[in-house]
Structure 1
Amino acid sequence: MDLPRIFVIRERNHRVHNPFTEQKLALLGDVIRLRPGQTMLDLACGSGEMLCTWSRDHGISGTGVDISTYFLGAARARAAELGVADRVAFVHDDAAGFVAPTPVDVAACIGATWIGDGVPGTLALLEQSLVPGGLLLVGEPYWRIDSPDQAVVEGCGFTSRDEFDDLPGLVESFGRLGWDVVEMVLADGDSWDRYAAAQWFSLRTWLDANPDDELAGEVRAELDTAPALYVRYRRRYLGWGVFVLKRR
């Protein structure tokens, strides 16, 4: 059980595997008013930057779960670097269906709602690990325009407009599911650029070092098309944010 190699090649130099800068991640930790001693579960945690930096900055403890052995190795190294390895742990497991053995104060899935087959299922999964009155954090894309045409949808890398909602529709959907939106931090053009453009550098440096690898053709094809597709479509039409929810 692991991520396909192409994902690791593309994002191996990322600390945050979403269109969030480290500054926005820190802002999110501030606005949810974390306190020393609180506990957290981070499903599909990637390289563990959120859990590690929040443990350092706010004194929380917690567990991150991911299927990528590479990213979990980076997460454990980051925890040691920041001096929080005694407060955070990382588990190699499928986040889909993972429930914390002891309920936590904050349960998060940032940019990976496929683990619950969408937002409703992911919120239901996260709630199983949450103490009464705790906070859910969910990171999710949304359309910046109401009804993108099929060229926009495919240019952003998807097959159907219905894979995501627009921002008002997404926020309203949380209410229909019984959750209050109590905070949010949204990506902007710069944070999108840091996420997407850094991938191209990682792809190119990998390709330069591995021209005969079996994935070299796939990487070359992505480098040929990804920058133009990004600036034409994804940067203009796709938003992304983290929404902080509390059960009504």
Structure 2
Amino acid sequence: MDIPRIFTIRESGHRIHNPFDDAKLAALGAALRLEPGARVLDLACGSGEMLCTWARDHDLTGTGVDLSTAFVAGARARAVELGVADRVRFEHGDAAGHVADEPVDVAACLGATWVGGGVPGTVDLLRRSLRPGGLLLVGHPYWRLDPPDDATARACLMEGRDALHPLTGLLEQFGELGCDVVEMVLADQDGWDRYAAAQWLTTRRWLDEHPDDELADRLRAELRAEPVRHARYQREYLGWGVFALMDR
């Protein structure tokens, strides 16, 4: 049980697997005003940067769950590096349907709402682990600019224009799910650049080391096309943010 190897190759140099940088992640942690000792569940945690840095900076405890063996190994190593291995733990497993053994103060899913089949299902899934009065964190894309057609949406790696809301529509959706939006931190275009462009260098170096790998031709084609696609579409049309929610 693991994610496709191509994703691990592209993002093997990433500590944060979304368009946030260190400063945005730290700003989010500070904005939530979490008490020392707060318990956090992070579904599809990637390389564990949120849990590890927040444990260091805010004295939190927590559990991360991710399907990637490589990312979980990286998260465990990062916890040791930051001296928080006694406060956070990382499980290799499918985050879809995962519920904490005991209620947590913060239940998070940043950029992987597929675990609940979309935003509504993910909110419901996170609720199952949350104590009364706790915080839900959902990281999700939205249309920064309205794409003119479905082809543009697909170039942003979405199924079509209807796959996402604009920011106002996403905020309204959270309200319709019975949540108050109590904080949000949004990525910017520089964050998209760091997330996307870092993959290009990682990919090129991997190709230089593995020229005959079965994925090499596919990744060479991606490397030729991705900078233009990113600049023309993803960078212009796609927004991304983390939204803190509380049940009404």
Query: Which ranges of 4 or more aligned residues in structure 1 deviate by more than 4 Å?
Result: none
Comparing 143-152 with 10-19, greater Cα deviation is found at 143-152
- Cα separation, 2, equivalents of 1:19 and 1:5: 21
Name the residue aligned to 1:20.
20
- TM-score normalised by length of structure 1: 0.99
The one-letter code sitting in structure 1 at the alignment partner of 2:92 is H
Find the aligned partners of 1:225 and 1:35 in 2 and give their Cα distance.
46
1:61 is the counterpart of 2:61: yes
Aligned to 1:107: 107
Aligned with 2:46: secondary structure?
Answer: coil
Kindly, what percent of the aligned residue pairs are identical? 66
Contact 2:48 2:64 in 1 (8 A): yes
> Which residue matches 1:31?
31
2:213 is aligned with 1:213: yes
Residues 125-177 of structure 1 deviation map (CA, whole Å, 9 limit, x = unaligned):
00000000000000000011245412211211222112211100000000000
Q: Quick one: which amino acid aligns to residue 235 of structure 1? A: R
- In the other structure, the counterpart of 2:88 is 88
State how far apart, in whole Å, the 1-side matches of 2:37 and 2:7 are: 34
Give the structure 2 partner of residue 187 of structure 1: 187
Return the alpha-carbon distance in structure 2 between the equivalents of residues 151 and 62 of structure 1.
41
Q: Which residue of 2 aligns with 1:129?
A: 129
* Aligned mates of 2:218, 2:19 — CA distance in 1: 23
Unaligned runs of 5+ in 2: none
Task: Show the 5 A alignment for 1:96-175.
Answer: 96-146=96-146, 148-175=148-175
Letter aligned with residue 180 of structure 1: D
SS of corresponding position for 1:152 = helix
| RMSD of aligned Cα (Å) | 0.7
Distance in 2, matches of 1:146 and 1:221, equals: 28
Aligned to 1:43: 43
Moved more, 93-102 or 140-149: 140-149
What is the number of equivalent residue pairs in this alignment?
248
Structure 1 residues without counterparts, runs of 5 or longer: none
Q: 1:97, 1:161 → 2: CA distance? A: 28
